[in-house]
Amino acid sequence: MSYSIKEIADMMGVTTATLRYYDKEGLLPNVKRVNGIRVFEDKDFKWLRVLNCLKNTNMPIKEIKRYVELSKEGDKTLQERYDLILKQEKRILEDIRQFNHYLKEIEFKKTYYREAIRAGSEEAVKDWPSSYPSLDLDKIPSSKKGK
């Protein structure tokens, strides 16, 4: 079955501008054109799903482009593509670690406000951080981004 760029954008939860950008950047190497109009096929979903995943997990566009180029080269680049995926997995796991730290802060604040509302004043809970030393609230997790 064939799909227009609008139909694909709606199905993928992205804008048509995003898909046009991907195409302009060479990230949609197998999408065919009929009379200059992009025509997407069922087989394109697999590629779009991977592309969307890499983008949504903050893989740098330069690395996504590299992944696309390697994919076009075929089996001789399997190891390089695997290495890029491992690198991205490492980034994602670091992001998860950082978000888990921040989630503890959010959970603390949720409890803090719930108890302050119940007591009718923040005065009742103002010393809570000192009574919850295991939360390590004042420590910002280290980031390897930008290094």
Cα torsion angle, 77, 79, 82, 86, sign:
negative
Dist CA 102 CA 105 (whole Å) = 5
pTM for the model stands at 0.74
Dist CA 4 CA 130 (whole Å) = 58
CB 19 within 8 A of CB 9: yes
Q: What percent of the chain has pLDDT over 70?
A: 87
In a domain, 18, yes or no: yes
Residue, of 83 and 123, whose pLDDT is higher: 83
Domain that holds residue 29: 2-56
pLDDT tens profile 67-120: 999 999 999 999 999 999 999 999 999 999 999 988 988 988 898 899 899 999
In a domain, 40, yes or no: yes
Region 18-34 average pLDDT: 90
In a domain, 99, yes or no: no
CB 18 within 8 A of CB 9: yes
In a domain, 138, yes or no: no
Question: Counting beta carbons within 10 angstroms of the beta carbon of residue 40, is it exposed (0 to 12), middle (13 to 18) or buried (19 or more)?
Answer: buried
Residue, of 1 and 77, whose pLDDT is higher: 77
Instruction: Please tell me the total count of domains within the chain.
Output: 1
State whether residue 38 is helix, strand or coil: strand
In a domain, 79, yes or no: no
Q: Please give the mean pLDDT across all residues of the chain.
A: 87
In a domain, 14, yes or no: yes
Which residue is it, tokens 């997995």? 89
In a domain, 8, yes or no: yes
CATH number at residue 13: 1.10.1660.10
